[in-house]
Amino acid sequence: MSNWVSTTEKRHFIKWFLDHHQLKHKDARMLLEYLLKHHHILENLSFTENIRLKENTIVISTINSDEPGFLYYYNKRKTDDVSKALGNFMSNPAEKINLILHFYGKQTNHRYLQLVEPAVDSFKRYKQFQQDSKEADLLIDQLLIEEEMNILKLQIDHALDQNDQEAFKRLVARLNELKSHT
Query: Domain count of the chain?
Result: 2
> What is the rounded distance in angstroms from the CA atom of residue 30 to the CA atom of residue 159?
86
Q: Is 97 helix (H, G, I), strand (E, B) or coil?
A: strand
Q: Residue 1 — very low, low, confident or very high, per pLDDT cuts 50/70/90? A: very low
Same domain as 81, residue 24:
yes
Distance CA 116, CA 4 (A): 10
Q: Where are the alpha helices (DSSP H) in the chain?
A: 7-20, 26-37, 39-43, 82-91, 110-115, 120-162, 165-181
Whether residue 93 is found in the same domain as residue 177 = no
- Tell me the residue type at 166: E
Name the amino acid, one letter, at 168.
Answer: F
pLDDT digits (tens, 9 = 90+) for 74-83: 888 888 888 8
Give kind and range of the element (H or E) at residue 22. Answer: none
How far is residue 112's CA from residue 58's CA, in Å, rounded to a whole number? 16
Same domain as 109, residue 141 = no
Question: Considering the entire predicted model, what is its pTM?
Answer: 0.60
Both 76 and 18 in one domain: the answer is yes
**pLDDT value at position 118?**
66
> Do 81 and 154 fall into the same domain?
no
Q: Which domain holds residue 171?
A: 124-181
Whole-angstrom distance, CA of residue 164 vs CA of residue 92? 87
State the CB neighbour count (10 A cutoff) for residue 130. Answer: 10
Q: What letter represents residue 122's amino acid? A: S
Could you tell me if residue 2 is inside a domain? Answer: no
Q: What is the CATH number of the domain that holds 105?
A: 3.40.1530.30
**Domain termination residue (choose one: 100, 118, 136):** 118
Residues 58 and 136 both lie in one domain: no
Is the domain of 58 the same as that of 144? no
In terms of domains, do 64 and 148 share one? no
Average pLDDT over every residue of 46-71: 84
113-163: pLDDT as tens digits: 877 876 555 666 677 788 888 899 899 999 999 999 999 999 999 999 999
